[in-house]
Structures are given as C-alpha cells and as structure tokens.
Amino acid sequence: MDSPTVIPFPRDPDAPTDADKKTLLEINAAILMVATGKARRVVLAALPFVDRVAGIGAAHAGVANVRFRVEAIGPTGGLTVTVGPRE
C-alpha cells in the first residue's frame, strides 16, 4: 500500500503548478524557434493556463526581440498565443 501524501489546504492560488510550467515551456520553445530563425511565426492554441503565464512569456519574448500576442478566439474565449515574427 502506498503512503498517503498530505495535500496542503487551502492551496496557494499563485503558486505555479506543473501545468503552468509545461505551458511556459511550450511558449519558450516557440520563442526559441522564432529567435533562431527556425520559424517565422508560431501559433499555440489550446494551451491550458495561458492566462497565468502569459506575462512571463511576454517578458521572455521581449528579451529575445520576438513579438508576443495573446488573443481570445471564438465565443468560448479560448486563448491563442502568437509568437513572432522577430522585431
């Protein structure tokens, strides 16, 4: 039998989660692709928790001199991230 794990409650809503880290990893990969010339523009759709890490992604894109845009799509308000082109 596995040992039980205590989950802190209430959880800190500002603490980064694994999903946040994975989403930021995808954004950083897109920034790297554009910054190194492997792609002119990358559109990321259906990433979870984009709203939580968009500010960090925008900062990373700014350092790399790459455009960064977050847009709502459709009536459901899903978000897409467009990375590129280079500035």
**Domain locations along the chain:** 40-87
In which band, very low, low, confident or very high, does the pLDDT at 76 lie, cut at 50, 70 and 90?
confident
Average pLDDT of the chain is 88
What pTM does this model have? 0.80
Torsion angle in degrees (nearest 10) through CA of 71, 49, 86, 63: 130
Q: For residue 80, which phi and psi values (nearest 5 degrees)? A: -120, 150
How do residues 35-66 score in pLDDT, each as one tens digit?
999 999 999 998 888 988 999 999 999 999 99
Decide if pLDDT at 10 tops 70: no
- What's the pLDDT score for residue 8? 65
